[in-house]
Structure 1
Amino acid sequence: MKSSITKLQLKLKPWALAYSIFMVTLGCLVYAAGVNSFVIPNHFGNGGVAGIAIILKYIKDIPTGTTNLIINSFILLIGYRFLEKRTLIFTIYAMFVTSWALNTIFPPVFISDNRLISAMAGGVIMGIGLGLILKGHGSSAGTDIIAMILKKYLGINFATGTFLLNMSIVLASGFVIGAENTIVTIFMKFLTSAALEFVTDGFSRRKAMLIVTKEPEQVCQMITETVNRGITVFRAYGYYTHKEREVLYIVVSKPQVMKIERRIASIDPNAFVTVSDVQEVIGQGFTFYNPNNKNRRFYDE
């Protein structure tokens, strides 16, 4: 295992390694702060291994970091094969940093008369922490690895497996934290997921436009002049009209959609346009910035 880690580290550029370490470390600290400042003081539960650790903290006063380290270490020993090497390394690192932070980082507690406010703040902060860990190519291990095992051997969808495992832990904690706090915890988990999703891909989301028009050349020229995005042209056949058409495909930012739609309408009022969400875009003009490109002003629109 040591040789594999060494080979991987040699493949990583220093800036990439520093970036991952920084993001994972920051994410672990933020997550631990959310747990110790909002979750435990308000007697909420949580999902995953952290949820089990928190329940044991309530029952036996066992430090959450200690439980988190022991359970996650056991799960990693069983399921390390399900993680790519880079993710495995930073997952192990995240496990140790999170466990240390849970036992060491104790920001001022936040207890509100309205439990939902505490849950909202805690959920968002934990989601940001987990999102930063993922951005650094780490993972929270725990239930994620178990969900991968369930997918391989039982055919359960990963998202479904993760949801079932987390909800099982949250619902089981109801016997300790009570029904009301269990409901609030479920609400908090949804906010955690939303914040995590926003951190991991909220800024890179784009819109995909599929355009069927009688004036493909004019539309392509307009798009090039307006937003300077690459256009993919497909040869298509209309079943109803029995005619061949050119279908245009382009990925743009949200503000650019309305601008393009208006100009398409002025060129071809009968054009057929569909707009759909794109989870992530990787490529020139989106993730690869070329400072020498004379059209770089379009990149940030």
Structure 2
Amino acid sequence: MNPIFKWLPHPDYASKLSFSVVYALLASIAVNFFYQPGHIYSSGITGVAQIITTLSKDWLGFYIPVSMALLLLNIPLFFIGWFKIGHKFTIFTGITVLLTSLFVQVLPEETVTTDPMICAIFGGAISGVGIGYALKNGLSSGGLDFISIAIRKRTGRTIGSISIGFNIVILFAAGILFGWQYALYSAIAIFVSGKVTDAVFTKQKKMQVTIITRNPEEVIQTIQRHMRRGITIINEAEGAYKHDKQTVLLTVVTRFELPMLRSAMKESDPKAFVSIADNVQIVGRFYEEEL
């Protein structure tokens, strides 16, 4: 096989491309229908691109479209993705950025409403759905997502919370340059976008699972056939009611893997008792698939 193609996804490349198109369409709708008409500044590199566009139009004397600024700003950040995250991830993120820039340029700017609060809430929600959908399917909107994912791998913090921290700088820049009113509305948009991203991107939400079973070996083999997860075994556990001996299994899965866990339990031991603790914090190594 030609080494150029070894980094491309196997048969799912068509699906990846369709995910890129969906994200690009959502992002361009957020920018052209809500952010630009409402003078709301987006999160991440898109917000920086908007600031550059506004400055070029009002201060510099020549116009740089948002689409062009977005594309140019992403180029140096691709190197972070290539070396720190993954080659396939970076290639398809590049395709996603190109499509987003194209859609922002081609899609007409429509004024749905001039109310900045509505623009902030709906623009942020649509943007968050797009970012979360892209990340959930192994893609990225580019820009600060590269940095956010690299930090999440080291610290375990969520993508949304990391992005909110980065975007404080954008808010200050928007406030100083264009007025604090728009900075505050932009803060609402960024907050909504971050929260919606966390709600959609379920692979980063970890859940502790406690399983009490009489068939530990079958349960362990079935779970590990469905997903790559370590399991801790506690033998000779005793039930308080009947004083019968059972085995306790402990593992941690992501919310994204929860349907696979349910399927594995139904297959291996439908009578097992399963307790799930939501959104646990992890200290130490936790396997995550290469993006």
TM tier, shorter chain?
A: 0.5 to 0.7
The one of 31, 34, 37 equivalent to 2:33 is: 37
Q: Percent identity?
A: 21
Deviation at 1:32, TM superposition (A): 1.1
What TM-score results when the alignment is normalised by the length of structure 1? Answer: 0.65
d(CA) in 2 for partners of 1:180, 1:138? 33
d(CA) in 1 for partners of 2:258, 2:4? 27
Aligned 8 A contact 1:86 1:137 in 2: no
- The residue identity in structure 1 corresponding to 2:34 is F
Deviation at 1:100, TM superposition (A): 1.1
Quickly say closer, same or farther: Cα 1:34–1:188, change in 2 above 3 A: same
Quickly say closer, same or farther: Cα 1:52–1:287, change in 2 above 3 A: farther
What is the aligned partner in structure 2 of residue 257 from structure 1?
none
What is the aligned partner in structure 1 of residue 140 from structure 2?
139
What is the aligned partner in structure 2 of residue 258 from structure 1?
none
- The residue identity in structure 1 corresponding to 2:66 is T
Larger radius of gyration: 1
Aligned alpha-carbon RMSD (Å)? 4.1
d(CA) in 1 for partners of 2:263, 2:89? 21
What is the aligned partner in structure 2 of residue 108 from structure 1?
110
Aligned 8 A contact 2:24 2:103 in 1: yes
Aligned 8 A contact 2:26 2:130 in 1: yes
Task: Note the alpha carbon deviations across 1:231-288, whole angstroms, 9 max, x for none.
Answer: 99633789xxxx997564589xxxxxxxxxxxxxxxxxxxxxxxx9953316746589
Deviation at 1:3, TM superposition (A): 4.9
Q: Which runs of 5+ in 1 are unaligned?
A: 218-230, 252-275, 296-301
Quickly say closer, same or farther: Cα 1:130–1:147, change in 2 above 3 A: closer
d(CA) in 1 for partners of 2:235, 2:33? 57
- The residue identity in structure 2 corresponding to 1:8 is W
Deviation at 1:123, TM superposition (A): 0.6
What TM-score results when the alignment is normalised by the length of structure 2? Answer: 0.67
d(CA) in 2 for partners of 1:30, 1:287? 33
Q: How does 1:1-301 map to 2 (within 5 A)?
A: 3-9=2-8, 12-13=10-11, 16-61=12-57, 62-77=64-79, 79-106=81-108, 108-113=110-115, 115-147=116-148, 162-201=163-202, 210=210, 234-235=234-235, 246=246, 248=248, 279-281=255-257, 284=260
d(CA) in 2 for partners of 1:198, 1:149? 20
Task: Note the alpha carbon deviations across 1:168-193, whole angstroms, 9 max, x for none.
Answer: 12221212332122112111112112
Task: Note the alpha carbon deviations across 1:146-169, whole angstroms, 9 max, x for none.
Answer: 4567789xx887757644322212
